[in-house]
């Protein structure tokens, strides 16, 4: 595992990280707890050093499991997120001082830690980040020693930019072969501020694994049923053929090329992966291999043109 600096936090993390939304069972359907634990244990065995979670994943169960698995492993960076109030139906976003303080203390109890390595506001609005209450709450918690570093898991470039200008130490944002423009828009701001970047949705919810047929169906509890219409899904699957030139030699699958694309960007601190079982975890690590040349420069230059030709504004 190659390591990269997490911005100016002073932390160095493995360039691939374990994301736990899908693993929690919330995103793609149930996952057995024994399998969840096996995935985390195997990832640590292979050198993963950052685990990304949220207080909302599995209604707090993922934090408890992570706390148990990483117990006495001081080298593991645990990232968690807060800002979702699930005591109401439907759930709502809250970033007021009292709520965030309560959420941080609840996460600390579940993780079994005295301090959270990195705490992110979970998909806030631009207004929430631009105001004073949420940021002031995080700065107070940092001063109190409850969190070491803070940042924002942003839904778009505008929110991320506002967070960076408010002093966010790390941003987490979607970044992949077919959705790269948001991070590219932020590149200058990131270089100026020195913030760390966690790239999520590296496989676009499984699409960039490249192994779906046009008749692909999703099971109960899978958010992709609502995310894509049948026509939209078929169109997206068809567009993947434009990336076939990336699959050869030491990039045996589109999945390998997709993760390598993310790692080719040197402002990315870590690519957040979302394996739901040990087999998926081992396969992706085996296929991605190691740098330093992830994707050749001439191929990187070809990608935008190839996507534009099939109607993708990446």
CA distances from 122 to 55, 79, 93, 105 (A): 9, 11, 9, 16
DSSP 8-state code for residue 80:
E
Q: What is the CA radius of gyration of the chain?
A: 19
Active site residue 28: no
∠ at Cα 123 (118, 129), nearest 5°?
80
| Structural contact between residues 82 and 100, judged by C-beta atoms closer than 8 angstroms | yes
- Start-to-end Cα distance in the chain: 28
- Which of 57, 119, 175, 294 is catalytic? The answer is 57
Distance CA 51, CA 275 (A): 12
Burial of 242 (0-12, 13-18, 19+ CB in 10 A): buried
Q: Is 231 helix (H, G, I), strand (E, B) or coil?
A: helix
Distance CA 117, CA 122 (A): 16
DSSP 8-state code for residue 248:
B
Distance CA 311, CA 66 (A): 41
Burial of 7-38, coded b for 16+ CB within 10 Å and e otherwise, reads bebebebbbbbbbbbbbbbbbbeebeeeebee
Q: Is 308 helix (H, G, I), strand (E, B) or coil?
A: helix
Q: Which residues are catalytic?
A: 57
């Amino acid at each position: 595992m190659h390591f990269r600096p997490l911005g100016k936090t002073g932390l160095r993390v493995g360039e691939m990280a374990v994301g736990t939304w899908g693993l929690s069972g919330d995103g793609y359907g149930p996952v057995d707890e024994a399998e969840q634990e096996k995935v985390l244990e195997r990832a640590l065995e292979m050198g993963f050093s950052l685990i990304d979670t949220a207080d909302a994943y599995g209604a707090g169960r993922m934090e408890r499991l992570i706390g148990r698995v990483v117990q006495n492993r001081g080298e593991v960076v645990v990232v968690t997120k807060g800002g979702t109030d699930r005591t109401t139906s439907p759930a709502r976003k809250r970033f007021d001082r009292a709520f965030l303080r309560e959420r941080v203390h609840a996460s600390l109890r579940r993780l079994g830690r005295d301090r959270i390595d990195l705490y992110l506001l979970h998909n806030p609005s631009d207004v929430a980040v631009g105001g004073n209450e949420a940021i002031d709450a995080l700065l107070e918690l940092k001063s109190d020693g409850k969190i070491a570093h803070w940042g924002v898991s942003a839904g778009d470039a505008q929110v991320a930019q506002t967070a960076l200008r408010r002093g966010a130490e790390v941003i987490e944002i979607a970044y992949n072969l077919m959705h790269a423009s948001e991070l590219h828009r932020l590149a200058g701001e990131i270089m100026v501020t020195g913030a760390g970047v966690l790239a999520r949705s590296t496989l676009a919810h499984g699409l960039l694994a490249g192994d779906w047929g046009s008749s692909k169906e999703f099971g109960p509890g899978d958010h992709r049923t609502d995310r894509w219409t049948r026509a939209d899904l078929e169109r997206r699957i068809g567009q993947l053929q434009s990336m076939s030139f990336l699959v050869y030699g030491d990039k045996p699958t589109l999945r390998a090329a997709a993760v390598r694309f993310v790692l080719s960007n040197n402002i990315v601190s870590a690519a957040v992966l979302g394996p739901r079982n040990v087999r998926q975890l081992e396969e992706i690590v085996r296929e991605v291999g190691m740098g330093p040349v992830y994707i050749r420069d001439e191929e990187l230059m070809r990608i935008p043109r190839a996507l534009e030709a099939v109607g993708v504004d990446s």
